[in-house]
Amino acid sequence: MGQVRRRIAVVDDEESVRKALQRLLRSAGMDVETYSSGAEFLDAMPNGVPDCVVLDLHMPQVSGFEVQAGLAKFSTRVPVVVITGHDTPAARARAIAGGADAYLLKPIDEDVLLDAVAAATSKQSA
């Protein structure tokens, strides 16, 4: 025990997905904060940097790519696990180029997500 609970941010405009991911990550022992838009998440960044952000690509106004670009401006690197329901080679390439630690397709199996989050945060702590 004594392990520090990791703080994960979930950014997805779709409420049902947001809530489901929050529950899953919580059931795996993580603290989860949810954001319904990229702008909301970026605004909250100065108040506390999460250990990892699970980021949807398809969002109105500020897309996942723009969130990635926004994160790059902060001094602290935040690991990003990109999730998408609409996989295209271009999106995948762009997400990876934008520094994504993982690129996952919805629906996401728990092991895949938890492994990706674990890998991303451990890279961070390493």
Partner 1 sequence: MIVQYQWLIIGAFIIIAAQAVLIGCLLFQRARRRRVDTERKKHDETLTQERAFLRQVIEIDPNLIFAKDRQGRFTLANRALADIYGTTVEGLIGKSDADFNSNVEEVEAFRRADIDVMNTLQERVIPEERITDATGKIHYLQTVKRPIVGADGTARQILGTATDITARRLAEQSIRASEDFNRTVLASLQDHIAILDANGTIVAVNDAWTQFALRNGVPPTMAGSGVGVSYLEVCRHAAASGDESAGRAQDGISRVLEGDSSSFVMEYRCDAPSESRWFLLRVLPFRRAEGGVVVSHSNITQRKEAELELGRQRNELAHFARVTMLGELSGSLAHELNQPLAAILSNAQAALRFLTDDDYDRNEVREILRDIVNADKRAGEVIRGLRLLLKKGEMRQEPLDLNEVVRDVLGLMRSDILNARVDLTAELAPNLPMLTGDRVQLEQVLLNLLMNGCDAMADAPASGRKLLVTTRHIATDSVVVSVTDRGPGIPPEDLERVFEPFYSTKAQGLGLGLMVSRKIIGAHGGRLYAENNAGGGASFCFTLPANPEAIA
- Phi, psi (deg, nearest 5) at residue 65: -65, -40
Provide the token pair at 27: 């059931």
Candidate list 2, 48, 60, 89; residue touching partner 1; CB under 8 A: 60
Question: Tokens 């990109």 appear where?
Answer: 82
Determine the size of the site formed for partner 1 (CB under 8 A): 27
Rounded Cα–Cα distance for residues 93 and 113 (Å)? 19
Residue 107 sits in the site that holds partner 1 (CB under 8 A):
yes
Residue 15 CB, nearest approach to partner 1 (Å): 9
Round to whole Å and give the CA distance between 4 and 18. Answer: 23
**Amino acid identity at 88:** T
d(CA 118, CA 76): 18
Judged by CB under 8 A, the residue of 97, 110, 115, 123 near partner 1 is: 110
Q: Note whether 33 binds partner 1 by CB under 8 A.
A: no
Residue 23 near partner 1 by CB under 8 A: yes
67 class by beta-carbon count within 10 Å (0-12 exposed, 13-18 middle, 19+ buried): buried
Q: How far is the CB of 77 from partner 1 (least distance, A)?
A: 26
**Shortest Cβ distance from residue 58 to partner 1 (Å)?**
6
Work out whether 85 is an interface residue with partner 1 (CB under 8 A). Answer: yes
Q: Which residues bind partner 1 (CB under 8 A)?
A: 14, 16-17, 19-21, 23-24, 26-28, 58-60, 63, 83, 85-88, 105-110, 113
